C-alpha cells in the first residue's frame, strides 16, 4: 500500500506540471496570516483542493482522545478555553466581594474542580426531585414533576417529554410567545432509535447498557434496572417514531401551528397542562399564544400517556433527571456517560478537569465570563476592523441582489428592503450584557450550583413569554467560537470568540481575512435569503416574499445543491451519503459566503493586482484561507451522527464542493477540464 501511495503522489505531481500550475515554496509562516505548513504540495489543487490546502495539517494531526472531532473551530475553542482558564484561576476571583459576579464566577469554577466535594455530596441536590418522582401516584401528576425536571437540564433541547420555551411570534416578531415542539430523546436523532443497520443496533445496545448502569448506580437491583431500562428505551423509541425527520424541521411554515392554551389541552388531554405551565412559572399561560410545532407529536404523546404504565414514566423521568448533568455528578456517573460516548462518538477519555470546569463556568455564567474575555482578548481595534469587513460584505450582497438574474422586480424589491433592515451591529460582545444578580452560587455543592444556574436560565427564558421582543438580546456569549443568523430578528451575530485565528486576525492580509471570517459573515448574511430566509420578511415575520415564479427558479438552483450533496459519499465503511434536503440551507449559504466575500476582496483591491505572498496570489490566499477554516478530522461514528441529524455538511464537502461551484476558483488555481476538481460550467450550482 505504501508503494502505491508513493506512486500516486508522483502521478499527481505530474498532473500539476501538465496543467501549468506551479506549486510555490515557502516557509511555514507566509507573512499573510496563513500557516503554509498546512499545505500538502504533493497534491495539486486541481486534483483534491481540500488535501492540497490542509494535507500537511491532516498528516500531523491526531484527534484528542476526549474529542469526537478536531478542527479549526475546536482549536480556536481550546485557545479560548485556555485563556478563560487563566482568568478563572486568577486570585482576583476569590478576592472579589461576596455576591459579585466575579466572585460567583470564581466560586462556580472552584466548586467544579473540587472532585472530593463532588464525591461527598453525591446526588443530594437531585434528592428532592427524585423523591417527587418516586411519590407519583397517577399520570395526571406527571406534569408538575416534568416542569421541575425541565429546569434541571442545561438546554431546552435536552428536556424530558418535549421541548418548551420562548419564541418570537413567527407572524408578529415584535412579541414573544410560547413554543412547544418535539423532544424528549436522549440520543441525537430519531434515526438512532429506528434504523436497523449494524452501527445503529450497536449504538442502541451501548445506550441500553448506559441506562442500566445509571439505574444500578442509583441502587436498583439487576431485575428492576433491566425493567426500567426497557421502559426508557420503549418510551423514547415511541417518541422518536412520532418525531419528524430533521430535514422536515427546516420548513418554518410546516412547523408553525399557533393556538391558545385550550387547544393545546385538547391536543393532549392526558397531560395536565395547567399544572405544567404553573410549575414552569408561566403564570399567564391562559392568555399566551402557543406555537405547537408538530401537533402530531403531541397527539402521539397523549396516546403514550394513556397507555404506558405509570412506572414506565417514573423510570423515564428518573433517568432524565440524573442523566442531564453527569459532568457535575460523582465519578461513577461520569464513567458511565463516557462509555456511551465512546460507542456513540468514538471518544476514549474525558477532557482535563480544568477544561471541563472552564467550559461549564463559561456556559453557566456566560456573559459575565464573556465580559472578562472581551476586556482581556478583544481590543476595540479588532472590533472596528471586523465591523468594516461585515459592512463591505453586506455591500456586496446589496449589489448581488440588485443584479441576480433569477429575481424578478417584485422579489428584488422585497429582498433589498429586507437587507436594508438586516442588523449587523452585533459584533464582538453586547454593550449591555446580561447580569447574574439573581443567581446564587455557593461553593459547597457543585451539582447544586449547576442546577441553580440551569434554573436561572430557564426562568429567564420563560419570563420572556408574553412580552415584547428584546432586540438587544444575544443568543450566544461573546466567547463562543461560532456565528449565526436569526431570521426572526433579521440579524447576524459575530462574537469575539470566532474573531481570532484562523478565522480573523486584525494584523493579517485582507485576502486571508476575507477567505476566513469574511466567508463566515457572507454565509450568515446569505441565510437571510436562502430557502428558509425567503420565508421571513425584514421585520422577522414569517411572511414569504418571493414570487411564485421566482420561487420555482430558486428551487431549481437549490435543487442543484441538493443533488450535489446527495451524491457525496461520507463515512469510513458506514455506507452513507449526505442528505441534500437536510444540508441544503447550509451548503447554499457556504456558496453565498465565498461568492460575496471574494467580491468584497476584489472590491478592496480596487482593480489593482495584489503582490504575491510566499508565491500565492491574493485570490489563491483567499481560497486557501477558506479551506483552512474548515480543516477537520472526525471519527467515523461522529461523522455518522452528523450526517443523520446535522444540517451542516461535513468539512471536506464544504470545501471541495463549494469551491468547485465558484468560477474564480478555476482561474485562481488553473483548474482545467479533465482534472478531478473540474466541474463543467453548466453543472456548477449558481445561486448568488
Q: Which domains does the chain have, with CATH numbers?
A: 127-355 (1.10.1380.10)
Looking at residue 95, its pLDDT comes to: 82
How would you list the strands of the sheet with 258-259, edge to edge?
162-169, 172-182, 290-292, 258-259
What pLDDT is attached to residue 573?
A: 64
Quote the pLDDT of residue 25: 37
Taking 50 as the pLDDT cut, the residues of the chain under it are 1-28
The torsion angles phi and psi of 423, rounded to 5 degrees, stand at -80, 125
First-residue to last-residue Cα distance in the chain? 43
For 555-586, what is each residue's pLDDT tens digit? 999 999 999 999 999 876 667 899 999 999 99
CA 338 to CA 141: how far, in whole Å?
33
Q: How far is CA 13 from the centre of its chain?
A: 38
> What's residue 43's pLDDT?
97
Total-model pTM: 0.92
C-alpha to C-alpha distance for 452 and 468, rounded to whole angstroms: 26
Count Cβ atoms below 10 Å from residue 425 Cβ, excluding itself.
11
pLDDT at 4: 31
pLDDT given for residue 156 in this prediction: 64
What's the pLDDT at 292?
98
Which residue do the cell numbers 472578562 mark?
A: 372
Q: Is it true that the peptide bond before 502 is cis, omega within 30 degrees of 0?
A: yes
Residue 162 phi, psi dihedral angles, 5° rounding: -160, 180
Q: What is the pLDDT of residues 460-508, one digit of tens each?
A: 999 999 999 999 999 999 999 999 999 999 999 999 999 999 999 988 8
pLDDT the model gives residue 571: 73
Interhelix angle 618-629/519-527, nearest 10 degrees:
70
At 214, which helix (H) or strand (E)?
Answer: helix 198-217
- C-alpha grid cell for residue 186? 436522549
Amino acid at each position: 500500500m505504501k508503494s502505491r501511495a508513493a506512486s500516486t503522489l508522483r502521478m499527481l505531481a505530474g498532473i500539476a506540471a501538465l496543467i501549468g500550475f506551479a506549486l510555490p515554496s515557502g516557509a511555514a509562516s507566509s507573512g499573510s496570516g496563513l500557516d503554509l505548513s498546512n499545505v500538502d504540495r504533493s497534491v495539486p489543487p486541481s486534483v483534491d483542493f481540500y488535501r492540497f490546502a490542509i494535507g500537511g495539517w491532516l498528516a500531523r494531526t491526531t484527534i484528542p482522545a476526549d474529542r469526537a472531532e478536531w478542527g479549526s473551530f475546536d482549536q480556536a475553542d481550546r485557545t479560548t478555553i485556555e485563556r478563560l482558564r487563566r482568568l478563572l484561576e486568577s486570585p482576583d476571583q476569590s478576592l472579589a466581594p461576596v455576591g459579585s459576579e466575579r466572585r460567583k464566577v470564581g466560586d462556580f469554577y472552584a466548586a467544579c474542580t473540587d472532585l472530593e466535594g463532588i464525591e461527598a455530596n453525591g446526588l443530594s441536590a437531585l434528592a428532592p426531585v427524585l423523591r417527587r418522582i418516586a411519590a407519583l401516584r397517577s399520570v395526571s401528576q406527571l406534569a408538575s414533576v416534568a416542569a421541575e425536571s425541565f429546569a434541571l437540564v442545561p438546554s431546552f433541547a435536552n428536556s424530558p417529554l418535549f421541548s418548551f420555551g420562548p419564541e418570537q411570534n413567527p407572524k408578529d416578531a415584535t412579541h414573544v410567545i410560547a413554543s412547544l415542539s418535539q423532544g424528549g430523546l436522549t440520543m441525537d436523532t430519531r434515526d438512532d432509535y429506528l434504523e436497523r443497520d449494524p452501527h445503529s443496533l450497536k449504538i442502541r445496545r451501548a445506550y441500553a447498557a448506559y441506562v442500566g448502569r445509571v439505574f444500578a448506580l442509583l441502587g436498583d437491583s439487576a431485575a428492576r434496572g433491566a425493567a426500567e431500562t426497557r421502559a426508557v428505551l420503549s418510551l423514547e423509541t415511541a417518541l422518536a417514531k412520532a418525531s419528524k425527520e430533521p430535514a422536515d424541521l427546516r420548513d418554518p411554515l410546516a412547523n408553525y401551528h399557533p393556538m391558545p392554551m385550550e387547544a393545546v389541552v385538547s391536543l393532549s388531554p392526558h397531560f395536565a397542562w395547567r399544572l405544567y405551565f404553573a410549575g414552569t412559572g408561566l403564570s399567564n399561560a391562559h392568555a399566551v399564544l402557543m406555537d405547537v410545532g408538530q401537533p402530531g407529536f403531541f397527539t402521539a404523546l397523549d396516546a403514550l400517556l394513556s397507555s404506558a404504565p405509570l412506572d414506565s414514566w417514573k423510570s423515564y423521568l428518573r433517568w432524565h433527571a440524573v442523566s442531564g448533568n453527569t459532568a457535575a455528578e460523582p465519578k461513577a456517573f461520569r464513567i458511565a456517560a463516557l462509555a456511551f460516548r465512546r460507542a456513540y462518538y468514538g471518544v476514549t477519555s474525558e477532557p482535563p478537569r480544568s477544561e471541563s470546569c472552564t467550559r461549564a463556568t463559561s456556559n453557566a455564567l456566560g456573559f459575565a465570563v464573556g465580559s472578562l474575555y472581551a476586556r482581556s482578548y478583544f481590543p476595540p481595534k479588532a472590533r472596528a476592523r471586523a465591523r468594516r469587513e461585515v459592512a463591505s460584505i453586506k455591500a456586496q450582497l446589496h449589489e448581488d441582489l440588485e443584479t441576480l438574474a433569477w429575481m424578478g422586480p417584485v422579489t428584488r424589491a422585497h429582498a433589498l428592503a429586507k437587507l436594508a433592515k438586516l442588523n449587523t451591529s452585533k459584533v464582538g460582545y453586547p454593550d449591555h450584557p446580561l447580569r447574574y444578580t439573581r443567581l446564587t452560587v455557593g461553593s459547597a455543592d457543585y451539582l447544586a450550583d449547576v442546577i441553580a444556574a440551569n434554573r436561572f436560565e430557564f426562568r429567564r427564558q420563560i419570563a420572556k413569554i408574553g412580552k415584547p421582543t428584546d432586540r438587544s438580546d444575544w443568543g450566544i456569549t461573546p466567547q463562543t467560537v461560532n456565528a449565526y443568523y436569526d431570521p426572526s430578528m433579521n440579524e447576524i451575530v459575530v462574537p469575539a470568540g470566532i474573531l481570532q485565528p484562523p478565522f480573523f486576525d486584525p494584523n493579517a492580509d485582507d485576502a486571508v481575512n476575507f477567505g476566513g471570517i469574511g466567508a463566515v459573515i457572507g454565509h450568515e448574511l446569505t441565510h437571510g435569503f436562502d430557502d428558509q430566509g425567503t420565508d421571513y420578511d425584514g421585520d422577522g415575520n414569517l411572511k414569504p416574499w418571493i414570487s411564485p415564479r421566482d420561487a420555482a427558479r430558486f428551487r431549481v438552483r437549490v435543487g442543484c445543491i441538493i443533488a450535489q450533496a446527495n451524491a457525496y459519499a461520507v463515512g469510513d465503511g458506514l455506507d452513507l451519503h449526505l442528505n441534500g434536503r437536510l444540508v441544503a440551507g447550509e451548503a447554499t449559504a457556504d456558496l453565498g459566503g465565498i461568492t460575496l466575500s471574494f467580491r468584497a476582496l476584489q472590491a478592496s483591491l480596487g482593480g489593482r493586482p495584489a503582490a504575491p505572498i510566499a508565491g500565492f496570489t491574493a485570490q489563491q490566499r483567499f481560497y486557501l484561507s477558506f479551506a483552512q477554516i474548515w480543516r477537520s478530522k472526525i471519527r467515523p461514528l461522529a461523522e455518522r451522527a452528523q450526517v443523520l441529524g446535522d444540517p451542516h455538511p461535513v468539512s471536506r464537502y464544504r470545501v471541495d464542493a463549494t469551491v468547485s461551484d465558484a468560477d474564480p476558483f478555476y482561474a485562481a488555481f488553473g483548474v482545467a477540464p479533465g482534472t478531478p476538481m473540474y466541474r463543467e460550467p453548466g453543472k456548477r450550482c449558481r445561486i448568488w
